[in-house]
Amino acid sequence: MAPVNISFVSDMERQNCRVAENEAGKVLEDEGYYVQIPDKKADYAEFENPEFRSLGNCIRFRSIFLTAICIALIMCLSLLICLSQPGLAPSKSVKDTAWSKQSASKFLMPSIIKGESLPSFADERTSFHFQPERNWMNDPNGPMFYKGYYHFFYQYNPDAAVWGNITWGHSVSTDLIHWHHLELALVPDQWYDVEGVWSGSATILPDGKPVILYTGSSNESLQSQNKAVPEDLSDPLLRKWVKVSQNPMLVPPPGIGHTDFRDPTTAWLESDGLWRIAIGAKEGTTGLALVYKTSDFLNWTLQRSFLHQIAGTGMWECVDFYPVSLTGTNGLDTSKVQGNQLVKHVLKASLDSNKHDYYTIGTYSTDLKTFVADDPTRDVGLGLRYDYGKFYASKTFYDPAQERRILWGWANESDSQLDDIKKGWASVQTIPRTLVLDHHTGSNLLQWPISELDSLRGDKVVKQDILLDGGAMLKVDGASGAQLDIEVTFKYPDVQTLDVPLEQKECVCSQGGAAQRGVFGPFGLLVLAADDLVEQTAVYFYLTLRPNGKWMTTVCSDQSRSSLAKGIDRTVYGTSINIAPTENFLSLRLIVDHSIVETFVQQGIACITSRVYPTLAVERDAHVLLFNNGSESIAMHTLEIWQMSNA
Ligand code: DQQ
């Protein structure tokens, strides 16, 4: 097998690598080496990475003596680690279930054995999420509807499972679930995009013609905005795209760095007859969105005022800007909205500094051409996120076929870059989500998987009205599997009838995850759970009763015990949510697809995406359990679990 080519490199190359590292969100530099993209599958025993060297040596020397010492050391170390983490077993006082009869050693044994072997990766590929057949993918680009087909483009490296050589991949679908992969739409073949055809958007002009605007990165890392049009408008699949001769159309204006000018939005038409686009940028550490206007998509004028800016947020990537209806649930075409009477506008920026997508709701002044957030304390980068897990560089589009606004988001891997190379692929897109303004609050969006996903629902298990005592854990029979759609509701505890302790610890998801013991929670679901629970992904609520009698509700997605494999990000994600006093229930919807768990809380008021890599809890060995790790009982009201087919 061909070894992966690893070399120490010059400062310039290091800089390039750092860009790649940012894209992947994974740190290589600390490990003292840079990976160059291999042409063929890697031979891991050849890695010079110190982390792998010890394992590699054990294999290479084939000395029984040395191997035995290696194994003994690893076993001792694993045992020590396991013993120092009582949270590995979900709860010591579980009731109602066979799990409670298992001894602690039973929980620990498989991790010792499994931890020594590298995972096989066979079960990690998703079955109904959007993924190219192989290699690296990142941002969603230019989603649109044209002549009966949904078109989806994406940042794609056709050569390897790591970021680099970025092109636009292209796929089409009639239902946003089943996809047909086409040839690359745009490749780096011009001086202005030779370092990558980076992110951008599509606009459908009033005559029905689509236009793509995208960022090119030159070999001097100059970021410019460029245009491409379909070669043959009669082809509904739009297989061929032509870059116009006037490219590059826009280069960074004075005051904006040549690497801080990227990701044009879909253009919108205003009442003055001019089209406008927003482009992400920064000045110092102030993140901002520039606006350019045009009548012909070739000649552009920079607007003097920014669309919006927020100090301290750093570079804004993949800005998105669109209206939402104050009166209905239909989506809106940005170009067809005039005036502000019946709409609010949403501004989203993907913060390069922390790789999170922040949005805010506010008013777009058609006079001043600027945006003002309704609540400055929850402005871009300060407040709401689309998703509190692994979700970045998202983009929406208006679907004229069903009059809805749809959100796409990139869910990167949580395993190591070396794992990605071995798998031969990296990243998925989350299930497309419809977006509407939450009319109860007026201050947040609601996200929900597109209704087309329901077509994959198969066999169903239903349970109703189960009281989960404090410490309970209940396996849901007939619901095992790695492809599931789950909806569950719980009742709020009736505090009138309870003697509630005054001292209640507030929940911080990352402090112990689902293994915390509270009064009202953690309670929720375990999915992708192994027989003996050595692997489990917990999604749960944790309630705290405030002195004013109101609940503080936190929701978490705990991937810290999802996998026995090594080198995996074990962050416990979560957020607190505001529940209206009229809502006397708590609800979760979980979309489980092998290595991704997408959670929709309270009809979409908050979302959390986790990437998980079970090694034992796969296929029919992946179970679902209800659990309550708090001391007070919790009533589960309804539980519905569907097996999901492949897309
Ligand atoms: N990814 C693209 C850039 C964008 C970044 C490059 C966000 O255009 O800013 O692949 O993930």
Least confident of 45-54, 290-299, 419-428: 45-54
pLDDT of 358 > 60? The answer is: yes
Stretch 336-362: mean pLDDT, rounded? Answer: 92
Inter-residue contact 513 to 507 (CB < 8 Å): no
* Nearest of 205, 313, 191 to residue 260 by alpha carbon: 313
Query: Is 532 a residue of the active site?
Result: no
What confidence score (pLDDT) does residue 337 get?
87
pLDDT of 36 > 60? The answer is: no
C-alpha of residue 199 to centroid of ligand 1, in Å: 6
What confidence score (pLDDT) does residue 66 get?
44
Stretch 395-424: mean pLDDT, rounded? Answer: 97
pLDDT of 46 > 80? The answer is: no
pLDDT of 17 > 90? The answer is: no
Q: Which atom of ligand 1 is nearest to the CA of 315?
A: 9
Q: Which atom of ligand 1 is nearest to the CA of 155?
A: 10
The owner of tokens 């009033």 is 206
Q: Which atom of ligand 1 is nearest to the CA of 139?
A: 11
- Percent of the chain clearing pLDDT 70 (strictly above): 80
Which has the higher per-residue pLDDT, 506 or 277? 277
pLDDT of 622 > 80? The answer is: yes
Please report the beta strands in 244-366, taking only residues with DSSP state E, as ranges in sequence order: 261-262, 268-269, 275-283, 286-294, 300-302, 308-310, 316-325, 343-351, 356-365
99 lines ligand 1 (CB under 6 A): no
Stretch 195-221: mean pLDDT, rounded? Answer: 98
pLDDT of 31 > 50? The answer is: no
Residue 98's pLDDT band (boundaries 50, 70, 90)?
A: very low
What confidence score (pLDDT) does residue 4 get?
27
What confidence score (pLDDT) does residue 550 get?
85
What confidence score (pLDDT) does residue 575 get?
97
pLDDT of 13 > 70? The answer is: no
* Nearest of 461, 465, 542, 547 to residue 508 by alpha carbon: 542
C-alpha of residue 224 to centroid of ligand 1, in Å: 13
What confidence score (pLDDT) does residue 429 get?
98
DSSP 182-247: -S-SB-S-STTTTTEEEEEEEEE-TTS-EEEEEEEE-TT--EEEEEEEES-TT-TT---EEE-TT-
413 lines ligand 1 (CB under 6 A): no
Which has the higher per-residue pLDDT, 24 or 379? 379
Q: Per-residue pLDDT tens for 499-552? A: 766 667 788 999 999 999 999 999 999 999 999 999 999 999 999 988 888 889
What confidence score (pLDDT) does residue 72 get?
53
Neighbour-count burial for 561-585, b at 16+ CB within 10 Å, e otherwise: bbbbbbbbbebbbbbbbbbeeeeee
Q: Which atom of ligand 1 is nearest to the CA of 355?
A: 11
Stretch 228-257: mean pLDDT, rounded? Answer: 98
What confidence score (pLDDT) does residue 497 get?
76
What confidence score (pLDDT) does residue 116 get?
38
**Helical pair 104-114 and 64-83, crossing angle rounded to 10 deg:** 140
Would the CA dihedral through 280, 283, 285, 290 be positive or negative?
Answer: negative
Q: What is the mean pLDDT of the chain?
A: 84
C-alpha of residue 446 to centroid of ligand 1, in Å: 26
C-alpha of residue 338 to centroid of ligand 1, in Å: 31
What confidence score (pLDDT) does residue 120 get?
56
Least confident of 49-53, 204-208, 391-395, 602-606: 49-53
Least confident of 76-85, 210-219, 490-499: 76-85
pLDDT of 167 > 70? The answer is: yes
pLDDT of 23 > 70? The answer is: no
Residue 426's pLDDT band (boundaries 50, 70, 90)?
A: very high
What confidence score (pLDDT) does residue 393 get?
98
385 lines ligand 1 (CB under 6 A): no
pLDDT of 343 > 70? The answer is: yes
pLDDT of 410 > 50? The answer is: yes
Least confident of 14-28, 208-222, 388-402: 14-28
C-alpha of residue 139 to centroid of ligand 1, in Å: 6
What confidence score (pLDDT) does residue 505 get?
78
Q: Per-residue pLDDT tens for 431-478? A: 999 999 999 999 999 999 999 999 999 999 999 999 999 999 999 999
**555 vs 577: CA distance, rounded Å:** 7
The radius of gyration of the chain's CA atoms, rounded to the nearest angstrom, is 25
Which of 16, 18, 139, 355, when mutated, tests ligand 1's pocket best, judged by the most ligand atoms within 8 Å of its CB?
A: 139
SS3 422: helix
Which of 213, 217, 317, when mutated, tests ligand 1's pocket best, judged by the most ligand atoms within 8 Å of its CB?
A: 317
Which has the higher per-residue pLDDT, 42 or 129? 129
From 139, 438, 569, 593, the catalytic residue: 139
What confidence score (pLDDT) does residue 184 get?
98
135 lines ligand 1 (CB under 6 A): no
